[in-house]
Amino acid sequence: MSTTLAPWLQPAWTQFECALRNGRLGHAVLLAGEQGLGKRTLAQAMATRLLCQSPAADGSACGHCRSCVWLAAGTHPDFRQVQPEEDSDSIKIAQIRDLIARVQLTGQASAVRVAIVEPANAMTNQAQNSLLKTLEEPPPGVHLILVADEPEHLLPTVRSRCQHYVVTVPSPQVVQAWLAAQGRSVLALTVALAAGHPGTAMAWSEPEASKRLAAVGEDLVAVRKGRQSPLAVAGRWAAAADDNVEAAIAWLRLWGWASAGHDVAQGITAPADLDHLSRCQAEAMKLRGRLRAPLKPSWLLHEWLLSWQGK
């Protein structure tokens, strides 16, 4: 067991280490789970373990061999990481073709070569199809780690050729205990708003983010009860529209759980019924995508806030 990994990553790590130890590790791993759970950290741990030349007795990488030092410095010749290029949301076919060409080469440090593709669901269909042959007939010593927030967006042919590892959302109590161990005091309400996602909870515990989260909740209640105009709130939100809409979605989700009878956080009372909350949350998630369009954010926000107000 790797003691440096968060507790909710340990089950997938144990599954991986067991498969590796018993000679049953697939050449392609699909590491799936929601955003904010640390899948990238786990993928890096897997890659480091595969490339380590002197693994410890517990199965973790030694941290001091030549391969581990290279990886820590970001200079390992047999490791590749593929992500969307700057100003792009997609991993394109040219990137995957380049990866395939590189993993075909003989390893420089050893026979093992490792590549992480993240997020794998960002690959275009062309890129995924280009990767298929390597997934079907991998060169000896090559390991591919596909990290996916939305594995359902991968082609079935890609998913079927991978060994699956799933990271699940931990309980709020586990998240709070882990954050406390990192020296971070995070309110139970913040963890609940983050839907139990540790990375999100940590980010939202920062002073500026925490203030925004509270202000958005107050604005939503005020608009719903007619104490604030949608136009005024839209004007305030426009400068950081993406962050404010994310915060609004978090509040609507939390209120929805409370309306459905779930014990989410002490003192939470929903300002609307479950149907209205569900409808407005769905609209807010669509709004998140529409904010990328060449329209004034304040117009889109005003339209959504009018719907939330119920008028």
Q: Which of residues 166, 196, 216 is at a domain's end? A: 166
Does residue 80 lie within any of the structural domains? yes
Structure tokens at 274: 């479950």
What pLDDT does residue 109 have? 77
The parent domain of residue 49 ranges over: 7-166
217 and 72 share one domain: no
Those residues whose C-beta lies under 8 Å from the C-beta of residue 107, and which sit 6 or more positions away, are 77, 78, 113, 141
The residues near 278 (Cβ < 8 Å, ≥ 6 apart) are: 256
What pTM does this model have?
0.83
Percent above pLDDT 90 for the chain = 71
Tally the domains of the chain: 2
**Same-domain status, 93 and 27:** yes
- Closest-CA residue to 255 (of 237, 273, 243, 242): 273
**Could you tell me if residue 174 is inside a domain?**
no
| pLDDT tens-place string over residues 244-263 | 999 999 999 999 998 888 87
At 144, is the secondary structure helix, strand, or coil? strand
What does the pLDDT read at residue 1?
A: 45
227/146 same-domain check: no
Q: What is the pLDDT of residues 22-55, one digit of tens each?
A: 999 999 999 999 988 999 999 999 999 999 999 8
Residues 210 and 149 occupy one common structural domain: no
Residue 135 lies in a domain: yes
Helices (H), ranges, the chain:
10-21, 39-51, 66-73, 93-103, 125-136, 156-159, 172-181, 188-193, 198-204, 207-224, 230-237, 241-259, 274-290, 297-309
CATH code where residue 55 lies: 3.40.50.300
Q: Which DSSP state fits 72?
A: H
Both 159 and 229 in one domain: the answer is no
